[in-house]
Amino acid sequence: MSSFKDNLPLYKRIVDGMKFTELFENVGKIYYFETEEVLETNTDTMAEFIILWKVPVECIYIDDGSMIILQHPTFDFKLGLSASGNGDYIHHKVETYISGY
User: Which DSSP string corresponds to 10-35?
Assistant: HHHHHHHTSTTHHHHHTTT-EEEEE-
Q: Residue 86: is its pLDDT beyond 80? A: yes
- pLDDT tens digits for 9-68? 666 666 667 888 999 999 999 999 999 999 999 999 999 999 999 998 888 999 999 999
* pLDDT score at 18: 82
Q: Residue 83: is its pLDDT beyond 80? A: yes
Contacts (Cβ under 8 Å, ≥6 apart) of 91 = 32, 33, 34, 85
What is the model's pTM? 0.83
Q: Residue 4: is its pLDDT beyond 60? A: no
DSSP class per residue in 42-77: HHHHHHHHHHHTT--GGGEEEE-SSEEEE--SS-SS
Work out how many domains the chain is built from and give that number. 1
Q: Residue 7: is its pLDDT beyond 80? A: no
Structural domain containing residue 94: 4-100
Exposure of 94 by Cβ count < 10 A (0-12 exposed, 13-18 middle, 19+ buried)? Answer: buried
Higher pLDDT, 1 or 81: 81
Pair 63, 81: CB distance under 8 Å: no
* pLDDT score at 22: 92
